[in-house]
Amino acid sequence: MVVQRPVGRLGALAVPNVLTAGQCAATAQFILRQQRSNGSIPWYDGSHLDPWDHVEAAMGLTVAGHWSAAWRALEWSASTQRRDGSWPMVVRDDEVEDAGADTNQCAYIAVGVWHYYLVTGRTDGLARLWPTVEAAINFVIRAQHPGGELGWAVGADGGVADFALLTGSASALQSLECACLIAATLGHDRPRWRWAGNRLAAALRERPQSFADRSRFSMDWYYPVLAGAVRGRAATDRIEKGWDDYVRSGHGAQCVNDQPWVTSAESAELVAALDAMGDTDRALMVLADLQTLRDEETGGYWTGRNLPDMVLWPREQTSWTAAAVLLAADAVTQTTAGSALWRDAGWPGDESVESATSLARDEAVG
């Protein structure tokens, strides 16, 4: 893990021959229109929100230069965090609809905060949100199974789910990495987090059988690459093995391999994964293909399209989908310092831990 030095925003976001600066600006405005006065960003006006997609939408605003709006979103997260460090899975109009907590969703605040710092260089932002990140990560690692995998949820009664999801655990590994980078930047040491990250990385790389079988979903295919759990030749082999199962030329990536439903968000995340492994040509190709789901009138993106009949479904455009496209555009153009988020991801796995006794003590104090 290398602490990046923020360089600030370099220019207006645009992708030559794919997205103009005006189109990127319109997509950012689409997200802004969904943001409520208290800073929260639901899926779309009148819909619900969850803590992961809310942060993702804030990250889209960050790369588009709407730093104040993105900060209000992050502050909303801080102000609504529960005492145990979590957030509810589903909130609608400030009312909790599902009081359980998704561990990956709760961990993602660390990615959003670190990304904001990379783009803006605001160390004061890190310091302000450090208590939020610390509480969230401590909550998440308490849900780790003995084998290192992460229980996907914690129920309203405090019970940890008895199975883990590969996509969620991979994303949470990147969140742990970002949390450690935040800690290091602020001069804190959290060996318990490093230990948890080592165990989680080992499970992802060495024991795929530890996770529930969701192999039909494209996210389980590309997310270990996107989040840095798999790199190098292993990443190349993984992407090549699943390419024909999940990617449809001229359209983008399917959500699942057994239904011809191409989706904007999965396509955009695949773009960032390809860019992270140095496959820039195919990253740009997929980014160009997913523009068939763009709505020029709103600046947003349709969730997906069924290919045989070319029907858009569902008939919705979400804030986090728009953000995923902006983040993909930033990744391939390196417009902001936040573009390094996925390229530099990669849990090193070289931190040693002395004893279970010292770990227990670290957990008690940190």
User: Percent of the chain beyond pLDDT 70?
Assistant: 92
Q: Is the pLDDT of residue 79 over 60?
A: yes
In this prediction, residue 3 carries a pLDDT of 45
In this prediction, residue 11 carries a pLDDT of 74
Cβ-Cβ contacts under 8 Å for 179 (sequence gap 6 or more): 107, 110, 114, 133, 134, 137, 190, 193
In this prediction, residue 222 carries a pLDDT of 98
Q: Is the pLDDT of residue 357 over 60?
A: no
Confidence class for position 98, pLDDT limits 50, 70, 90? very high
Conformation bin of residue 252: beta by default, left when phi > 0, alpha when psi is -120 to 50: left
CATH 1.50.10.10, applies to 21-365: yes
Q: Is the pLDDT of residue 360 over 50?
A: no
DSSP per-residue codes, 157-202: TSPBPS-B-HHHHHHHHHHHHHHHHHHHHHT---HHHHHHHHHHHH
For 274-322, what is each residue's pLDDT tens digit?
Answer: 999 999 999 999 999 999 999 999 999 999 999 999 999 999 999 999 9
For 114-139, what is each residue's pLDDT tens digit?
Answer: 999 999 999 999 999 999 999 999 99
Confidence class for position 365, pLDDT limits 50, 70, 90? very low
What integer is the mean pLDDT of 136-156?
Answer: 98
DSSP per-residue codes, 282-343: HHHHHHHHGGGGB-TTTS-BBSEEETTTTEE-SS-B-HHHHHHHHHHHHHHHT-SGGGHHHH
Nearest-angstrom CA–CA distance, 197 and 203: 10
In this prediction, residue 359 carries a pLDDT of 42
Confidence class for position 157, pLDDT limits 50, 70, 90? very high
CB-count burial class (<10 Å; 0-12, 13-18, 19+) for 356: exposed
Q: How far is CA 146 from CA 105, 141, 143, 162, 206, in A?
A: 21, 11, 10, 11, 15
Amino acid at 228: G
For 57-77, what is each residue's pLDDT tens digit?
Answer: 999 999 999 999 999 999 999
pTM: 0.94
User: Residue 89 corresponds to which tokens in the numbers above?
Assistant: 């899975």
Average pLDDT of the residues of the chain: 93
For 230-277, what is each residue's pLDDT tens digit?
Answer: 999 999 999 999 999 999 999 999 999 999 999 999 999 999 999 999
For 170-179, what is each residue's pLDDT tens digit?
Answer: 999 999 999 9
In this prediction, residue 348 carries a pLDDT of 85
Residue whose pair of structure tokens reads 């006065």 in the numeric block: 37
CB atoms within 10 A of CB 213: 11
